[in-house]
């Protein structure tokens, strides 16, 4: 019964979405305020209905209702509670429902928080958002319905893919979708601004908070996914340039560019056309990502069920929205007046530099991800484009960007003083070189590129914090503290976000210093790993709630031979699918980790082992977390409150604003 | 600088970066891509010894042999031809005889494939698309495999 209510609610939500997609636009064209003002109410109703549908599917999962085909295929009575719950989106249909839920959530959030927007702007934005929602609801209902029943309900389900039975599943997809789908609202704002011909600084003020929300979620989502892959798959890597990872990286790169160009548009009314284009491109890339993940056209570790019909449907949605928005853009671009001009060496110039490199890096990722498809369609040759391609393209393109960040932070709007900016940066640069030299001494040399990377990381971090120091000390050291505390939150946010990028660069560079051992160990044997030693005490079996495991018991000892931890990497076989997975064992030491994964065992005595010592590996994910925290802080700056379309008055305080 | 000069400087800079990026991308596309080959294609001599490529197919049942240390050898087949593979390291969890596999590495002059990488997949029912295509071409594809996710 509850499942039918959910099914019905989803169909009703589709009807509301179609209504919401048409009526406000019609109202805006006829200047009928009553019709336009229906949009926010429809958005709230739509969200309530989708939430009801989602809740009823969740209920079916929690009660293991195997008469629902989707629950039967992806759940099991023995599965722990958290995985019954997160299993709702651990499959194609359920995750699409989550997608639609988040689309509706953003519509409802705009309806609630952006009441101060002009009626027609709000109405048309919500209508565009609802067009996207209607398209995806149709996709759900007609090709991927999660509410279908089975005529003869089985007693037991097929269980969730064991790799997904991890707390990561509860966090990673919702965050990632919040980011991916969050850019839909930015897209809707852009489309509305184009339709109504209102591309101005007020637009930039309106979309910046939403861009920030989506960006924060996407940053955390990608970082979480990377961390999950690191500890779950047992390969010890953090990024594989897998097509599906690239699919999330592309909107992140252009979304980051958008975040920065919107600042220029807001403060200087420049880069208007470009900012709108970025908003359109970013969501188009999100749609492209959805298509790549769910159509099965690319070989990826994240394969959902391959179904050509679904692929075609999403391709159709993709073409309609991308084609439609680019046509709209082409029609209106001429009507937009170019903004104020600026010197190449200025804050605007620096942000253009940022946008240029981020976009070009996104282009490189785009080519590398889609080229195999193109080549196969044209010549039938099958190729794979992996890490070597991206290491030569996207990675070097990020280096000038990172180098420029500390410089850009110091340039003034309109016309900057490069010599003045550099005069302080020489000290920062010198400190960074000293930092890299100290590291080089501590590890007694190492790959030059890795040491350069460490220097770059330090340069970013010191450069970011120097900005705070510079501002606070400008009126003499006596008023240091009051001035430091008076720095606007948005500026502190920028400093933290850029320092986060620096931390990430440090973490990635440090992977060059990791120690790897692939060996076969017998019970009682000891081996060395970096400055630790590990002893295999023996192998035991263990029974979990829905799996049986073979556990290798290791003792980790420090250089002096004193035991510091017991590490128990395991091999699990899940009852439901009879599928083996590796369970990694890790020991954290500051930001560094000892990482053990076992392979095959033979004779109950010997075990094949992959052991790593990974120095400062946690910085790779701590960096993005700091970036996202910076984003949150910026969101809380009162100057950027959601939906205040007052014209920005450029603050002239003699100091460069963020 | 005049308006015109400013605009020229900015447009010139953008052009230079785009040219650099295209140069990098084209170079990488020429040198850094890896072709996917089936054992039949290897037998037809489409691969020169020493070229890095991806070999995909099914692990021949009964061919997996553990040798000393961490060395493993097995045979990859597409139903027509076979290629012997050797690999040093830990095999992924889902590596099994009779299952699809993708390995990356090089062929030596004797026809032995030395893999540097054996790829794992998240899902046991997931067949790498290239492998599925190869098997379809050779007529060894069964549409509904037992234990598939479809009801």
Model confidence pLDDT, tens digit, residues A556-611? 999 888 999 999 999 888 887 777 888 999 999 999 999 999 887 766 678 888 89
A303 inside 8 A of chain B by CB = yes
Percent of chain A with pLDDT over 70: 94
The whole-number pLDDT of residue A638 equals: 65
Using an 8 Å CB-CB cutoff, list chain A residues near B146: none
In a domain, B104, yes or no: yes
Q: How far is it, in rounded angstroms, from Cα A173 to Cα A171? A: 6
Comparing A653 with B53, which gets the higher pLDDT?
B53
B116 shares a domain with B54 = yes
Q: Taking 80 as the threshold, does the pLDDT of residue A650 lie above it?
A: no
The whole-number pLDDT of residue B102 equals: 85
> Shortest CB distance from A150 goes to which of B54, B129, B151?
B151
Using an 8 Å CB-CB cutoff, list chain B residues near A520: 69-70
Helix (H, G, I), strand (E, B) or coil at B54: strand
Check: CB of residue A135 under 8 Å from CB of residue A127.
Answer: no
Q: How far is it, in rounded angstroms, from Cα B100 to Cα B92? A: 12
Check: CB of residue A476 under 8 Å from CB of residue A614.
Answer: no
Which of B70, B93, B105, B131 to mutate: most A Cβ within 10 Å?
A: B93
Show contacts of A377-380: CB within 8 Å, 24+ apart.
none
CA distances (Å), origin A267, targets A201, A262, A434, A648, B116: 7, 9, 37, 7, 53
User: Complex ipTM, two decimals?
Assistant: 0.81
CB pair distance less than 8 Å for A341 and B34 = no
B118 shares a domain with B55 = yes
Using an 8 Å CB-CB cutoff, list chain B residues near A579: 93-94, 124
Comparing A292 with A70, which gets the higher pLDDT?
A70
Check: CB of residue A171 under 8 Å from CB of residue A224.
Answer: yes
Q: Taking 90 as the threshold, does the pLDDT of residue B122 lie above it?
A: no
Highest mean pLDDT among A28-37, A319-328, A415-424: A319-328
CA A317 to chain CA mean position, Å: 22
In a domain, B143, yes or no: no
Using an 8 Å CB-CB cutoff, list chain A residues near B122: 161, 163-164, 301-303
Q: How far is it, in rounded angstroms, from Cα A185 to Cα A206? A: 11
pLDDT in tens, A39-48: 999 999 999 9
In A, minimum Cα distance to B16 occurs at A356
Mean pLDDT score of chain A, rounded to an integer? Answer: 89
B11 shares a domain with B71 = no
CB pair distance less than 8 Å for B89 and A518 = yes
In a domain, B144, yes or no: no
In a domain, B145, yes or no: no
B116 shares a domain with B44 = yes
The whole-number pLDDT of residue B128 equals: 60
pLDDT in tens, A127-153: 999 999 999 999 999 999 999 999 888
In A, minimum Cα distance to B6 occurs at A343
Q: How far is it, in rounded angstroms, from Cα A538 to Cα A598? A: 13
B132 shares a domain with B67 = yes
CB pair distance less than 8 Å for A367 and B29 = yes
Q: How far is it, in rounded angstroms, from Cα A40 to Cα A130? A: 11
CA distance B138 to chain A (A): 16
In a domain, B87, yes or no: yes
Using an 8 Å CB-CB cutoff, list chain A residues near B123: 161, 163, 303
Percent of chain A with pLDDT over 90: 58
Label residue A143 exposed, middle or buried (CB < 10 Å: 0-12, 13-18, 19+): middle
First CA to last CA distance, chain A: 55
CB pair distance less than 8 Å for B151 and A72 = yes
A522: which 2 tokens? 């017998």
Helix (H, G, I), strand (E, B) or coil at A438: helix
CATH value at residue B89: 2.40.50.140
Using an 8 Å CB-CB cutoff, list chain B residues near A374: none
What single string gives the DSSP state of each residue in A512-560? GG-EEEEEEEETT-EEEETTEEEEEEEEEEEE-SSEEEEEEEEEEE-TT
In a domain, B148, yes or no: no
Mean pLDDT of B41-70: 84
CB pair distance less than 8 Å for A342 and B1 = no
B66 shares a domain with B24 = no
The whole-number pLDDT of residue A296 equals: 67
In a domain, B125, yes or no: yes
A167-171, A173-177, A400-404, B76-80: range with lowest mean pLDDT? B76-80
B95 shares a domain with B110 = yes
Comparing A302 with A561, which gets the higher pLDDT?
A561
Alpha-helical regions (H) of B32-99: 39-43
pLDDT in tens, A51-89: 999 999 999 999 999 999 999 988 999 889 999 999 999
CB pair distance less than 8 Å for B28 and A363 = no
The whole-number pLDDT of residue A657 equals: 39
Using an 8 Å CB-CB cutoff, list chain B residues near A73: 149, 151
The whole-number pLDDT of residue A298 equals: 65
The whole-number pLDDT of residue B151 equals: 31
The whole-number pLDDT of residue A283 equals: 96
Q: How far is it, in rounded angstroms, from Cα A363 to Cα A369? A: 10
Using an 8 Å CB-CB cutoff, list chain A residues near B14: 352, 356
B130 shares a domain with B71 = yes
Check: CB of residue A107 under 8 Å from CB of residue A159.
Answer: no
B88 shares a domain with B26 = no
Could you tell me the residue range of the domain that residue B102 belongs to? 35-137
Comparing A262 with A305, which gets the higher pLDDT?
A262
Comparing A179 with A266, which gets the higher pLDDT?
A179
Evaluate the CA torsion angle A444, A446, A450, A452 in order and state its sign. Answer: positive
Residue among A226, A243, A215 nearest A171 (CA): A226
pLDDT in tens, A240-272: 888 888 999 999 999 999 999 999 988 888 888
Q: Taking 60 as the threshold, does the pLDDT of residue A640 lie above it?
A: no
Structural domain count of chain B: 2
CB pair distance less than 8 Å for A360 and B21 = yes
Mean pLDDT of B22-48: 88
The whole-number pLDDT of residue A48 equals: 98
Comparing A658 with A264, which gets the higher pLDDT?
A264
CB pairs under 8 A between A and B: 130
A388-397, B50-59, B130-139: range with lowest mean pLDDT? B130-139
Q: Taking 90 as the threshold, does the pLDDT of residue A497 lie above it?
A: yes
User: pTM of the prediction?
Assistant: 0.91
In a domain, B142, yes or no: no
Using an 8 Å CB-CB cutoff, list chain B residues near A396: 24
pLDDT in tens, A472-492: 888 777 788 888 888 888 899
Helix (H, G, I), strand (E, B) or coil at A31: coil
Q: Taking 50 as the threshold, does the pLDDT of residue A439 lie above it?
A: yes
B66 shares a domain with B22 = no
> Shortest CB distance from A610 goes to which of B31, B90, B122?
B90
B3 shares a domain with B69 = no
B41 shares a domain with B18 = no
CB pair distance less than 8 Å for A161 and B93 = no
Phi-psi region of A400 (alpha: psi -120 to 50; beta: other; left: phi over 0): alpha
A596 inside 8 A of chain B by CB = no
């Amino acid at each position: 019964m509850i499942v039918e209510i959910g099914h019905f609610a989803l169909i009703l939500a589709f009807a509301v979405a179609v209504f919401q997609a048409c009526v406000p636009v019609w109202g805006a064209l006829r200047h009928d305020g009553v019709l336009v003002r229906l949009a926010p109410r429809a958005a709230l109703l739509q969200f309530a209905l989708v939430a009801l549908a989602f809740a009823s599917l969740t209920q079916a999962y929690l009660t293991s209702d195997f008469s629902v085909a989707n629950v039967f295929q992806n759940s099991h009575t023995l599965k722990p509670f958290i995985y019954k719950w997160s299993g709702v989106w651990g499959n194609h249909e359920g995750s699409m429902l989550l997608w639609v839920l988040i689309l509706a959530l953003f519509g409802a959030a705009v309806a609630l928080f952006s009441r101060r927007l002009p009626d027609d702007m709000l109405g048309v934005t919500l209508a565009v958002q609802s067009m996207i929602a209607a398209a995806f609801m149709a996709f759900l209902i007609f090709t991927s319905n999660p509410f279908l029943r089975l005529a003869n309900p089985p007693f037991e389900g097929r269980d969730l893919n064991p790799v997904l039975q991890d707390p990561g599943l509860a966090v990673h997809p919702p965050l990632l979708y919040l980011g991916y789908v969050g850019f839909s609202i930015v897209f809707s704002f852009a489309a509305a601004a184009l339709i109504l011909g209102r591309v101005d600084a007020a637009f930039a003020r309106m979309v910046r908070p939403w861009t920030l929300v989506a960006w924060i979620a996407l940053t955390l989502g990608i970082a979480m996914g990377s961390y999950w892959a690191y500890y779950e798959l047992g390969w010890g890597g953090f990024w594989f340039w897998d097509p599906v990872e690239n699919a999330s990286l592309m909107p992140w790169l252009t979304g980051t560019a958008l975040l920065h160009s919107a600042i220029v548009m807001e403060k200087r009314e420049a880069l208007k056309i470009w900012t709108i284009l970025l908003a359109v491109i970013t969501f188009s890339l999100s749609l492209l990502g959805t298509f790549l993940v769910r159509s099965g056209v690319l070989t990826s570790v994240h394969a959902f069920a391959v179904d050509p019909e679904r692929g075609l449907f999403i391709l159709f949605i993709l073409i309609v929205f991308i084609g439609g928005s680019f046509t709209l853009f082409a029609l209106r671009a001429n009507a937009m007046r170019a903004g104020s001009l600026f010197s190449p060496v200025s804050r605007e110039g620096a942000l253009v530099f940022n946008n240029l490199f981020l976009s070009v890096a996104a282009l490189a990722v785009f080519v590398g991800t889609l080229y195999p498809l193109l080549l196969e369609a044209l010549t039938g040759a099958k190729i794979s484009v992996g890490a070597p391609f991206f290491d030569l393209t996207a990675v070097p393109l990020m280096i000038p960007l990172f180098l420029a960040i500390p410089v850009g932070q110091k340039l003034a709007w309109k016309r900057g003083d490069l010599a003045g900016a550099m005069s302080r940066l020489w000290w920062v640069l010198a400190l960074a070189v000293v930092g890299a030299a100290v590291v080089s001494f501590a590890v007694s040399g190492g790959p030059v590129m890795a040491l350069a990377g460490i220097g770059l990381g330090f340069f970013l971090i010191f450069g970011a914090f120097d900005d705070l120091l510079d501002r606070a000390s400008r009126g003499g050291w006596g008023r240091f503290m009051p001035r430091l505390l008076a720095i606007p939150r948005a500026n502190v946010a920028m400093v933290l976000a850029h320092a986060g990028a620096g931390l990430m660069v440090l973490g990635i560079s440090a992977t060059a210093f990791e120690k790897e051992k692939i060996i076969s160990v017998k019970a009682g044997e000891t081996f060395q790993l970096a400055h630790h030693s590990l002893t295999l005490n023996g192998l035991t079996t263990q029974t979990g709630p829905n799996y049986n495991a073979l556990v290798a018991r290791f003792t980790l000892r420090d250089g002096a031979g004193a035991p510091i931890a017991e590490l128990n990497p395991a091999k699990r076989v899940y009852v439901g699918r009879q599928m083996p997975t590796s369970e990694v064992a890790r020991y954290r030491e500051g930001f560094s980790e000892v990482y053990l994964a076992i392979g095959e065992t033979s004779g109950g005595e010997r075990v094949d082992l992959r052991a790593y010592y990974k120095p400062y590996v946690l910085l790779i994910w701590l960096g993005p977390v700091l970036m996202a925290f910076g984003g949150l802080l910026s969101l809380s700056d009162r100057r950027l409150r959601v939906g205040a379309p007052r014209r920005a008055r450029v603050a002239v305080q003699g100091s460069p604003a963020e | 600088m005049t308006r015109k000069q400013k605009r020229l400087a900015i447009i010139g800079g953008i052009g230079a970066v785009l040219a650099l990026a295209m140069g990098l991308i084209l170079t990488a596309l020429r040198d850094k891509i890896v072709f996917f080959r089936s054992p039949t294609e290897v037998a037809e001599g489409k691969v020169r010894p020493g070229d890095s490529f991806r070999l995909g197919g099914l692990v021949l049942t009964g061919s997996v042999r553990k040798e000393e240390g961490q060395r493993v050898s097995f045979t990859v087949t597409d139903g027509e031809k076979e290629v012997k593979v050797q690999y040093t390291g830990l095999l992924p969890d889902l590596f099994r005889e009779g299952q699809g596999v993708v390995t990356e590495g090089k062929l030596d002059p004797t026809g032995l494939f030395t893999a540097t990488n054996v790829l794992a997949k998240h899902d046991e029912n997931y067949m790498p698309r290239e492998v599925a295509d190869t098997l379809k071409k050779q007529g060894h594809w069964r549409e509904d495999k037992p234990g598939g996710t479809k009801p």
